[in-house]
Amino acid sequence: MSQPRSDADRIRRRELYDAPSGRGGPRLLPWTSPEGKPCYLSSDGRGYLSTLTDSIETVQLSMGQELLEYARDATAPGAKTLSATEYRWLACRLTEALADTLRVAESRGQRIPDQEAATEDA
């Protein structure tokens, strides 16, 4: 049995619920500040920065998909053996792609409405 939600928790969940519809809530951006801190966008979900963010996320995910296909081909049985430098390059790029993908997933996950909270508010 779940514990009752506090008012602050309900407000936070409402903000996240409203975010996909453009009614509020900060959006985690797919880049960081020069200091490596997360950047957020507060907008109605439309406009230049929202469109730019969507485009960058799409590019990041498709680059990750292409890299995954390359890695699968490179590590398939019978594939040409790569040098240590090439494997290191591949590992670095896969790490970057995974970090980008996890950030996109986190950003999108924060904007998915909680079904339990949505039914409580209805």
Per-position pLDDT tens, the chain of length 122: 445 566 666 555 555 545 444 445 789 999 999 999 999 999 888 889 999 999 999 999 999 999 999 999 999 999 999 999 999 999 999 999 999 999 999 998 888 877 766 566 65
* Residue in the block written with tokens 């619920």: 17
Indicate the SS3 state at residue 31. strand
Query: What's the pLDDT at 11?
Result: 59
In angstroms, the CA 6 to CA 2 distance is 12
Query: What's the pLDDT at 45?
Result: 81
- 82-88-94-97 Cα dihedral, nearest 10 degrees: -130
In angstroms, the CA 85 to CA 62 distance is 24
In angstroms, the CA 94 to CA 86 distance is 12
**pTM greater than 0.75:** no
Query: What's the pLDDT at 92?
Result: 97
Phi, psi (deg, nearest 5) at residue 74: -70, -25
Radius of gyration of the chain from its Cα atoms, rounded to whole angstroms: 19
Q: Which residues contact 43 (CB under 8 A, 6 or more apart)?
A: 22, 27, 49, 50
